[in-house]
Structure 1
Amino acid sequence: MPSDAARIIGQLDPATTVLLTVECQRGVVGPESALPELADVARTSGALANVARLVAAAHDTGVQVLHAVAERRPDGRGASHNARLFKAAARLPVQQLTGSTAVRIADPIPVSDEDLVVRRLHGLSPIAGTEVDALLRNFGCRTLIVTGVSSNVAIPNAVFDAVNLGYTAVVPADAIAGVPADYTPAMVRNTLALVATVTTTDEVLTSWRWPRRGR
């Protein structure tokens, strides 16, 4: 009898599944990143390439893609100041400013006209306090695949929020990254695996190869 994880992966129906990329933007994981160590891990680990593979497959199979982008107004209005992380980010040499190249989706991730980009000016989560939950419900989403960076902060926030809102969270462990590099496996094993279905990029792609009903 298949495990619950195998059953969920085998039922990633494009009609009820949404793929979320988290902070896969040029100013975070691109060549001119504000966080070069994170960008290096995302690329050398293959995580960014796997996000690109998942997005391309989602486009081919009718799975809706949402790109969650963190940005900041040039005047800082609306930005959060209640954590050390925000204060440190404000001093970085590369700023994630609205309208700048830093907040564009990074290569090699493809972006189609059907993708939605959800931008946030505050907080730590790609979901809480943003349009994401309403969009997911309008799409009829039941399963949310979470990818991107970082496994230190934004990824666990997204997973917890998704679960709290009633979605089944799926995390391809080879399509997320954090710093240091060995932190991600520990986060997956000790935290994310308790609340999400942990899988791999290849397992998701295999599931989507079966004939499915498009949107």
Structure 2
Amino acid sequence: MAVRTAVVCVECQDGVLGEHSVLPALGSDAAPLVKNIVRLADGARAAGIRVVHATFGGLLGAPTGTAPIWRRLAPATADWAPGHPAVAVVPELSHADDLVLPRRHGLSPTWRTELLPVLRGLDIDTIVLTGVSLNLALPMAAAEACHDGFTVVVPRDAVAGTPAAYGEAVLANTMRMLARITTTDELLDDWR
């Protein structure tokens, strides 16, 4: 599994999981998962597995789509741009060898972005999906990746939603239909 695998960290950035989160409830509920993602990313790098950060770089222009979340997030992220602290990968996860692929539109890190084509170009066929959130981005990304022929693996202790109980329900009732659900420790054991 390891040779054609990538760990994809979704929105593990200061403006989402850091102290300046535009979604403070999510940031709080997701705080425990960061240490597991750090362990997973370190283990992946040691095993020669690519680590990719799919960040949200702020909107360019009007929001695409009509989701109510845009009314809340558009003003809060209006000044986000390359170099803004909010778009930076959280420091404990940042590594010089990682690939950072920001998006400037959409609720999903895969919808009309270069993430899946880049992974395909790197000969990746298995995505270990981590980060946030189980409310929107992760189920959308898992479904789109499956549609594109990728195998998706989700370590349950390296993803979060808000409230936390809802995230658990999404894992049990939605993500299990799209991905193999596992844990950080199980993946690290596989990669050793």
More moved, 22-31 vs 98-107? 98-107
Residues 1:182 and 2:168 aligned together: no
Aligned CA distance change for structure 1 residues 205 and 185 (closer, same or farther; 3 Å): same
Among 43, 49, 53, which residue is 1:67 paired with? 53
- Number of the residue aligned with 1:92: 76
Give the unaligned 5+ runs of structure 2: none
Identity %: 38
Among 169, 174, 178, which residue is 1:191 paired with? 174
Q: How many residues in Structure 1 have an aligned counterpart in Structure 2?
A: 192
Deviations 1:73-99, CA, capped at 9 Å, x for gaps: 5xx426425221111102338854332
Deviations 1:40-89, CA, capped at 9 Å, x for gaps: 1111xx2111111111111111101110011225xx42642522111110
Residues 1:130 and 2:116 aligned together: no
Matches within 5 A, 1:30-41: 30-41=18-29
Q: Judge conservation of contact 1:72–1:79 (CA < 8 Å) in 2.
A: no
Among 5, 8, 11, which residue is 1:23 paired with? 11
Matches within 5 A, 1:1-215: 12-13=1-2, 15-43=3-31, 46-72=32-58, 76-77=60-61, 79-92=63-76, 96-112=80-96, 114-209=97-192
Q: Offset of 1:184 from its aligned partner?
A: 1.0
Letter of the 2:22 counterpart: A
Pairwise CA RMSD of aligned residues?
1.6
Q: Judge conservation of contact 1:70–1:119 (CA < 8 Å) in 2.
A: yes
- TM-score relative to the length of structure 1: 0.84
Larger of the two Rg values belongs to structure = 1
Q: Judge conservation of contact 2:63–2:74 (CA < 8 Å) in 1.
A: no
Q: Distance in 2 between matches of 1:95 and 1:199?
A: 37
Q: Helix, strand or coil: the match of 2:106?
A: coil
